[in-house]
Amino acid sequence: MSASQSKVVQYFFAPHSPWTYLGHARLMAIAAKTGAQIDVRPFDLGKVFSVSGGLPLAKRAPQRQAYRLAELARWSAFLQVPLTLQPKFFPVSPEASAKLIIATRLAHGVEASLNLAHAIMRGLWAEERNIGDEETLVQIALDAGFDGRQLLKTSETASVQAEYDANTEAATAASVFGSPWYIVDGEGYWGQDRLDFVERALER
């Protein structure tokens, strides 16, 4: 497939989602393999939950919480992606990290934003770092080869907030109700366990 024919996968995600973390590197590999472009769309999962019937983790029934932990352990082992089931800094607000990812895309492009997103999610789920803390985010960005301080400054601008809000509105309009959520040719796929279907859609 030539560049002019390459498909786009809209990637709606919240950077504090362990499921997004488990699928992130695989999505990047699938895009590289198929020549697809990734449209990076960090969004406010909490707002989407509020209009789609979703519940934050703490409000879910105990049996649902227990099964979530079992599934995370299974997928972590199967994919050989290191993951701490109950990291020290979770639950955590994802807003600052989401806006840092948007700022990175605006300054350095899609691939850079995807790389930083992976570093942030790995920081939370494998390294037990507090991605709700601005200084921690600056350090994660520095470790990934970016000017973390400048990106943080950019992330606090009205234009980045506007994009974050627009992504959230677009997610709601597209009937998104979880993270990660992938859209190819107008069809939505919820969860990293649907990446096989995403790959097939991109190869059509």
* 3-class secondary structure, 17: coil
Q: Which residue out of 2, 4, 6, 17 is catalytically annotated?
A: 17
Contacts of the segment 138-144: beta carbons below 8 A, 24+ positions apart: 140/116, 141/100, 141/104, 141/116, 143/119, 144/115, 144/116, 144/119
Active site residue 17: yes
Listed in sequence order, the residues at least 6 apart from 76 whose beta carbon sits closer than 8 Å to its beta carbon are 22, 82, 83
Q: State residue 9 phi and psi, 5-degree precision.
A: -110, 120
153 to 49, 100, 104, 168: CA distances (angstroms): 29, 9, 11, 22
Question: Catalytic residue positions?
Answer: 17
